[in-house]
């Protein structure tokens, strides 16, 4: 996780559909974080709870399942199903690699047939799992994106985000931090294209992150663009979370570029949407220093659908790292997208 002296921001939100928990803040009319983003509510109802003997925390990714329920991924190799209305766990399945070992699971997407696509940032990898947790296979990964010495990536800084574009034919994974040899503020987005039912390596793009931040998550907006969550942490100050809109159209395919420089390629275009530090706190409290007590270690994001006026309903989740000083918190946002 990146850390620098930067203000903290976060964009978050949870759909306030009858959360029957004392920690849940009631939704009120739109609370503006920026001209593009409103925070509607938050809930701490999952914080430091267990389900079926499994700790409900360490949540790093969210995805909408085919039936409308939520898949929530723990980076301790557990995949939860959350009820679409209450956000309470309904089931949990363990995940493992080919040798039966746990994963550092960070990114999640649900394919059209219900298959779970899950990243691990230790190799890195993208594996395919059945809904019951059975391992089905894995996707190819470019050598350069592997952790050194096999490649040029840094351990614990590889595939942090994962999303499927509309139609399910293009899969996008975001690297959290730059490769060695690349410009220090440029991270790579790797794509796969579905060909004859299988995903094959496709274009790779360069995205510029803010100073001191890394990419925590990417989520498809439905029109070919991406929501990008940038995150950082400064001890004694707190988290910085910023939400951007990214458009890969026209960006250079950098899969053949060994050392990235912003001077040499066309980058993914990014538009700032919100800095969560600017959101109203809605009465939230923090267990550690935060410039806004609403903030925590936000890592997961999913688009739930559209609100009136075509705004996106977005759900965020923070990863508490099973740490007493951090919170598993769900946030519900509505996000307007600038026109192309």
| Concatenated DSSP letters of 138-193 | E----GGGSBTTTSSBPTT-SEEEEEEPTTS-EEEEEESSPPTTS-TTEEEEEEEE
Cis preceding linkage at 32, omega within 30: no
Give the per-residue pLDDT at 30.
Answer: 57
CA 272 to chain centre: 17
Give the per-residue pLDDT at 262.
Answer: 83
Q: Burial level of 3, CB count in 10 A (0-12/13-18/19+)?
A: middle
**pTM, two decimal places:** 0.90
CA-CA distances (angstroms) from residue 178 to 39, 182, 188, 272? 31, 6, 7, 20
Give the per-residue pLDDT at 244.
Answer: 98
Give the per-residue pLDDT at 196.
Answer: 87
Give the per-residue pLDDT at 23.
Answer: 43
CA 327 to chain centre: 17
Residues in the chain with pLDDT values less than 70: 1-30
Q: What letter does residue 223 receive in the DSSP assignment?
A: S
Q: Are 337 and 323 in contact (CB under 8 A)?
A: no
| Rounded Cα–Cα distance for residues 180 and 46 (Å) | 38
CA-CA distances (angstroms) from residue 185 to 83, 106, 181, 201, 202? 38, 21, 11, 24, 23
Q: Token pair of 166, please?
A: 């509309």
* Per-residue model confidence as pLDDT tens digits over 294-310: 999 999 999 999 998 89
| Rounded Cα–Cα distance for residues 116 and 113 (Å) | 9
Residue closest to 145 by CA, chosen among 258, 229, 228, 262: 258
Cis preceding linkage at 142, omega within 30: no
Give the per-residue pLDDT at 13.
Answer: 33
- Angle, CA 260 vertex, CA 233 and CA 139 arms, to 5°: 80
């Amino acid at each position: 996780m990146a850390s620098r002296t930067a203000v903290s921001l976060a964009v978050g939100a949870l759909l306030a559909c009858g959360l029957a928990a004392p920690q849940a803040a009631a939704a009120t009319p739109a609370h503006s974080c920026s001209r593009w983003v409103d925070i509607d509510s938050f809930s701490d109802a999952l914080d430091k709870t267990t389900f079926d003997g499994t700790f409900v925390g360490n949540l790093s990714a969210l995805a909408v399942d085919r039936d409308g329920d939520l898949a929530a991924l723990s980076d301790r190799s557990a995949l939860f199903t959350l009820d679409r209305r209450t956000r309470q766990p309904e089931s949990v399945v363990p995940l493992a690699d080919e040798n039966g070992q746990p994963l550092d699971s960070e990114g999640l997407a649900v394919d059209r047939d219900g298959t779970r696509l899950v990243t691990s940032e230790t190799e890195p990898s993208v594996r395919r799992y059945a809904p019951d947790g059975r391992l089905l296979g894995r996707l190819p990964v470019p050598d350069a994106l592997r952790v050194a010495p096999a490649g040029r990536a840094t351990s614990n800084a590889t595939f942090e985000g994962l999303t499927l574009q509309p139609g399910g034919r293009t899969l996008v994974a975001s690297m959290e931090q730059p490769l060695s040899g690349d410009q220090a503020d440029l991270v790579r987005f790797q794509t796969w294209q579905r060909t004859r039912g299988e995903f094959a390596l496709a274009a790779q793009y360069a995205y510029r992150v803010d100073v001191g931040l890394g990419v925590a998550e990417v989520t498809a907006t439905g029109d070919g663009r991406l929501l990008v969550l940038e995150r950082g942490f400064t001890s004694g100050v707190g988290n910085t979370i910023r939400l951007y809109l990214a458009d890969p159209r026209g960006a250079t395919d950098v899969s053949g570029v060994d050392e990235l420089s912003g001077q040499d390629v066309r980058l993914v275009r990014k538009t700032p949407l919100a800095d969560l530090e600017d959101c109203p706190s809605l009465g939230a409290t923090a267990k550690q220093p935060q410039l806004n007590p609403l903030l925590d270690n936000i890592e997961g994001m999913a688009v739930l659908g559209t609100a009136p006026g075509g705004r996106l309903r977005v759900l965020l989740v923070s990863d508490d790292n099973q740490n007493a000083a951090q919170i598993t918190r769900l946030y519900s946002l509505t996000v307007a997208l600038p026109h192309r």
